[in-house]
Amino acid sequence: MTLTDWWDSPKRELWFVWYATIVFYSLYGFVFFVVTRTQPPGKPWLNPDEVVNWFAGRHDGLLIGFGLIFSLGGLSATAIALITYSIRRMSVSRAYAYSYLLLYGVSAVPGFLFICVAMTAGAMRPDRDPALQQWLYDLGFLSFAGTMGVFFIGSLIWMAAVLLDTNGVFPKWFGYLNLCNALTEVVTGAAWIFDRGAFAWNGAIVWWIDVAVWVPYTVVFIHLLRQVILRDDFGTGRLPELPPTEPVRRAREEALVP
């Protein structure tokens, strides 16, 4: 497909939104893991002076990285829009799509904005009272790790829509994968109780296992959204399947030959 074909394609806007989703998640990972080094999360048991040192060690990264998020974080809406669009293409009630849209409309706040605001405020005045710096540190990480209720319900709504859909927009196994993801979101509530161990905000169960499920889940749904765009016929009823790739077509033909 040439650039002109692509530009004239009726799916141009959908592709634009899909690539914006890729940009958002790449930016999200780069800022949190590389620029600000706020993920994996800091230790919950740091004393106030250690927290002051933690902020001092990341001062520039926090301001630059979260500045980027404040400027471009709105791109998170693109993934939500595409998912809502795909649910509307299903045979289920539109109530699923609107519930998902409304729920994820606020997801940026617990999902990343709270931590960005708290950590940027901490980095802005490094000479602030250490007890207040520790308060901002706790607020940042607790709001990030411990507020997964939105994502729990959101995953369940998406799961129900996929499993009930008869238009074949997503494979059914993805519906079940949503349930697996939803169940790991529940676990994070323990971060509000413990400041060390497997259930703290940086713990093996609350953070590491959750991320080990969430990252493949995110990669899978971005890939499946791409498939939905490729298959989209802007019509109603069952979503057409993609024609088989050349090796698959040849293998099928050979299987038919006795």
The backbone region for 235, taken as left when phi is positive above 0, alpha when psi lies in -120 to 50, beta otherwise, is beta
Of 193 and 255, CB closest to another protein: 193
Give me the least distance between CB of 157 and another protein, in Å please.
15
Cα(169)–Cα(90) distance, rounded to whole angstroms? 6
Binding residue for another protein (CB under 8 A) from 175, 195, 222, 227?
175
Is residue 19 classed as helix, strand or coil in its secondary structure?
Answer: helix
The two three-digit tokens of residue 170, written as one number: 């997503």
Is residue 22 within the footprint of another protein (CB under 8 A)? no
- The b-or-e profile of 12-32 (16+ CB within 10 A means b, else e) is eebeebbebbeebbebbeebb
- DSSP state letters, 159-196: HHHHHH-SS-SS-HHHHHHHHHHHHHHHGGGGGGT-SS
Of 109 and 183, CB closest to another protein: 183
CB distance 123 to 63 below 8 Å: yes
Among the candidate windows 16-24, 195-203, 226-234, 238-246, which touches another protein by CB under 8 A?
A: 195-203
Binding residue for another protein (CB under 8 A) from 6, 30, 33, 176?
176
Is residue 193 within the footprint of another protein (CB under 8 A)? yes
Among the candidate windows 25-33, 45-53, 176-184, 249-257, which touches another protein by CB under 8 A?
A: 176-184
- CB neighbour list of residue 77: distance below 8 Å, 6 or more residues apart: none
User: Terminal CA-to-CA distance of the chain, rounded, Å?
Assistant: 37
H or E stretch at 66 = helix 59-72
Binding mask 205-224 for another protein (x = CB under 8 A): x---x--xx-----------
Is residue 172 within the footprint of another protein (CB under 8 A)? yes
Give me the least distance between CB of 6 and another protein, in Å please.
33
Of 25 and 152, CB closest to another protein: 152
Which residues in this chain contact another protein in the complex, by CB under 8 A?
Answer: 171-173, 175-177, 179-180, 183-184, 186-187, 190, 193-194, 197-199, 204-205, 209, 212-213
